[in-house]
Amino acid sequence: MHSVMSYLASKLASVYIEEKAEGREYSHDYINKVRQRFTKSLESNIIGNHIRYASFLFCNGEYDEACKYFDFIEHLKYEDIESNLVYQLYVSPSDSLAMQIAKKPHEQTFKQSSSVFWIFGPEAAMCVPAFLRCEMYQGRVGTFTTNNVVLYSMYDFIRVQIQPYLYYLQYITYRVLHQEHKQYEALLKFLIFTEINKSTRFLSSKNDGVCGFFDTSLNMLGHCLELEQKLESAWETYTTSLQMQPGHNAAILHITRLLSQVFQSVRA
């Protein structure tokens, strides 16, 4: 119920942010009720619900308020790692661990999964930073056959791993607030995370075609590097993402955008 409440709050908040961005009138009572749903959903201590609320706060321009949740989410995440079997399966895939998870109650598995990965549907797109909305078009880029063209709806979602998404939110929030020390600290944590996980995700993607949304994590890191004006590093990060997930990857859009920028600068 807490997760349903969080989902509905995110959906309603997305409508509110869109109306506000278009200069339309909106009700303060409406958004206050949305906030009540968000805060009620946090009682479950499901990490995904917390990250969803922090994401809304950023997109609504409430940067200082979003910062209040960052350290708490990170603390919850580190506490969760040791006992979270889904996270352990992500780090070290094994059939025995998968069977162990399958025998656990659904509620426990759902909570553990929601502390590792999170999915934003298109109806909540305005509660996600603009850069990440490109992920909703991943099903329309790359090489595909007639058989999987009809499965576009499978890709019309923004799928993230919570830990790197937290670092991304921290980086772009502290950047807006001109808190350079915290901004670079978030970027460093993001770089360390991707270096540690890169080899494991490459192996996993080659074996079973699944990289645990790590391609999206690399795309977010590429965006941070772009904002740092480290365009060569951003290019390498996007191409690594594409190597890991050759089809249905928004990295193609980001690489095309970088190429366009280079072309425009050469013409100028």
Report if residue 73 sits inside a domain.
yes
Percentage of the chain modeled with pLDDT above 90: 56
User: Is 100 a member of any domain?
Assistant: no
CB 207 within 8 A of CB 214: no
15 located within any domain: yes
Determine the Cα–Cα distance for residues 268 and 265; give it in Å rounded to an integer.
Answer: 5
Interval 152-172: pLDDT, tens: 455 678 999 999 999 999 999
Q: pLDDT digits over 9-27, tens only?
A: 999 999 999 988 888 877 7
CATH number at residue 24: 1.25.40
Give how many domains the chain has, as a whole number: 1
Average pLDDT over residues 87-99: 86
Q: What does the alpha-carbon distance between residue 258 and residue 3 come to, in Å, rounded to a whole number?
A: 37
Q: Is residue 89 domain-resident? A: no
Residue 99: inside a domain, yes or no?
no
Q: Is residue 101 part of a domain?
A: no
**Where would I find the H helices in 43-179?**
47-59, 63-81, 85-91, 95-102, 106-113, 146-149, 152-155, 162-176
Q: Which domain holds residue 226?
A: 2-81+116-267
Residue 105 included in any domain: no
Task: Select the highest-mean-pLDDT range: 17-26, 51-60, 198-207.
Answer: 51-60
Asked if the structure places residue 166 within a domain, the reply is yes
Beta-bridge partners for 120: 158
Residue 178: exposed, middle, or buried by beta-carbon count in 10 A (0-12, 13-18, 19+)? exposed
